[in-house]
Amino acid sequence: MTINLDTPKKFRGFIQQAHEVADNFLRANSRKYDLAEHAYPKELDLLASLIDGMGDSGAGQGAGAAGVRRSEDASEKDKGKVKNGTNLSSVLSIIEMCWGDVGLLLSMPRQGLGNSAIASVATDEQLEKFKGTWAAMAITEPGCGSDSAAIRTTAIKDGDEYVLNGEKIYVTSGERADSVVVWATLDPKLGRAAIKSFVVPKSLPGIRVERLEHKLGIRASDTAVIVLDNCRVPAENILGNEEIDTKQGFAGAMATFDNTRPLVAGMAVGCARAALELTRELLEDAGVVIDYDRPATSQSYAAATYLQMEADYEAALLLTLEAAWLADNRKPNSMEASMSKAKAGRAGNDITLRCVELAGSLGYSEGELLEKWSRDSKILDIFEGTQQIQQLIVARRLLNLSSAQLR
């Protein structure tokens, strides 16, 4: 199979719509909700309803979190054919939306990372059961950051229910969402293999929001500490299979990331593109000429720096599209998902910071959004697996080593 790098024709109208939404809804309210941290962006209710309607009608082309579901079924006539599906369209739409504002995208009702997890690994019955829910994702704990396998939140079977106990931190949309996808261990002695994810409605007794965090960036999005205190969750709310497979190990739980990491990479790509476009305008207004027909070494420092940033942006974009394309075509993409997340996360942060530097006082002030984009971009190199974790995963895949062999 080969990848055509042009945007698929069937997505172009949808991508243009996403860009207009990003411009008129998200970027238009970007500074407002950056300054009003923890205030709920009411403007997003209408937008979320529109996306829900597009998804229900089939016109959404993978809009929102539901677009990351990977189908393993293929008819005989489709086998061997290149497919541009919902993973790719979701990434392309997210790039446009984060060109508008990352924090507001993360605040979209029913489009949380927990929804991506449900869409990725839930059974058909669970997809119907949790349709319409707004799900946050709760993985990180006070004593467990990058090492998801070190989770200490427990889930003990009691009849037809699981009793969950533990504390989760940095839960995006933890207060606003109506349910939380909680990662917990069924048996701490069995290590990684016993970790499962549960859909926990916040209406259940025993789950509470302890506090909201004040943050460097994505301030429009609420980030919560959530405590589970003898929270009883129906057994059917465990995503996928509740049996512990020691041979499969942690792979089942981690499979979620193969679909969600390209989405986060797309967020970084979109934010970086916004910074590049504005910086180019500011440089040209200042008389800086960026010449693609001359070596960077023979141009001004500002022009040479811009060309280098643009090359990093293109590399991040292509890796992100490849990871999504592989998922659409039912090919393993674990390494590519981590590569896209690692490259886009770092490049996005580097690009936005250097754009602030190139723009001088305009970049550092609130007169432009450059300083905000540099703050927002930092989290995209951290959540869904830090830069260092992504590099470790890629190294394991390239060297064909297990997590026990390469730590």
The residues near 124 (Cβ < 8 Å, ≥ 6 apart) are none
Element at 282 (helix H, strand E): helix 251-285
Spatial separation of the C-alpha atoms in residues 347 and 353, rounded to whole Å? 10
Collapsing DSSP states into helix, strand and coil, what is residue 192? helix
Collapsing DSSP states into helix, strand and coil, what is residue 234? strand
Kind of pairing, strands 223-234 and 161-172? antiparallel
Catalytic status, residue 384? yes
Question: Which residue among the candidates 96, 141, 368, 384 is catalytic per the annotation?
Answer: 384
Burial class (CB in 10 A: 0-12, 13-18, 19+), 110: buried
Give Dmax (Cα) for the chain: 73
Spatial separation of the C-alpha atoms in residues 166 and 179, rounded to whole Å? 16
Assign residue 400 a region (left: φ > 0; alpha: ψ between -120 and 50; beta: otherwise).
left
Strand partners, 232: 163
Spatial separation of the C-alpha atoms in residues 264 and 268, rounded to whole Å? 7
Q: How many CB atoms lie within 10 A of CB 10?
A: 10
Element at 351 (helix H, strand E): helix 334-359
CB 355 within 8 A of CB 310: no
Structure tokens at 376: 């927002």
Kind of pairing, strands 135-138 and 179-185? parallel
CB 168 within 8 A of CB 155: no
DSSP letters of 92-125? HHHHHHHHH-HHHHHT-TT-SHHHHHHHHH--HH
Spatial separation of the C-alpha atoms in residues 323 and 103, rounded to whole Å? 23
Spatial separation of the C-alpha atoms in residues 85 and 262, rounded to whole Å? 14
Catalytic annotation, residues: 384
